[in-house]
Amino acid sequence: MDKEYFAHESAYIDEGCSIGKGTKIWHFSHIMSGCVLGERCNVGQNVVISPQVVLGNNVKVQNNVSIYTGVVCEDDVFLGPSMVFTNVINPRSAVNRKDQYLKTIVGKGASIGANATIVCGHNIGKYAFIGAGAVVTKHVPDYALVIGNPARQIGWMSEYGHKLIFDKEAIAICPESNEEYHLMNGIVTKVDE
């Protein structure tokens, strides 16, 4: 049976990976054993995906990204160029801490900008937007826009990636999709139609 994904001849894929239909893996990337990559993912060049990492469907991984054990990316996540995850809070070369890997979940539709660092054990909410170069050291709420080192929240984003401006009634409209969002008690929700 022919494989249902594409891997460039320079990519290295260990035994025991599950790779979904329509996924593409580009130059010099290493997919380690036990990984699960969903359908229609795009893994750029020089990417490392460590054992037991899980990527949902339609995850875009740009060039030079490192995704370490403990990371789960839900559907439609975007990982910008050269961003990195960590998996041990206090690494030391001479101390083996493989039993202390912390889990990080990146919610559906979230985007992480170029050169951002996600310190392990901190989840990224659905449709959150992490600015380029940000260093995330705490949980990020759904739809939050965070920037800086350490990352701090400066606003909210729509599912289409536009900054939301809330009116006096705590309602914002995405300028591209015309979808309505509501802000209450520091939580943003999309108003279903």
Exposed / middle / buried, residue 38 (Cβ in 10 Å: 0-12, 13-18, 19+): buried
pLDDT for the residue 118: 98
Contacts of 117 (CB under 8 A, 6+ apart): 83, 84, 85, 86, 134, 135, 136
Average pLDDT over residues 11-40: 97
Place of tokens 């809070």: 89
Task: With CA atoms as reference, report the closest residue to 79 among 40, 52, 118.
Answer: 118
Overall residue count recorded for the chain in this entry: 193
Q: With 90 as the cut, is the pLDDT of residue 1 above it?
A: no
Share of the chain above pLDDT 90, in %: 96
pLDDT digits (tens, 9 = 90+) for 114-154: 999 999 999 999 999 999 999 999 999 999 999 999 999 99
List the domains of the chain with CATH numbers. 1-157 (2.160.10.10), 164-193 (no CATH)
Q: How far apart are the first and last CA of the chain?
A: 44
Q: Whole-angstrom Cα distance, residue 24 to residue 44?
A: 8
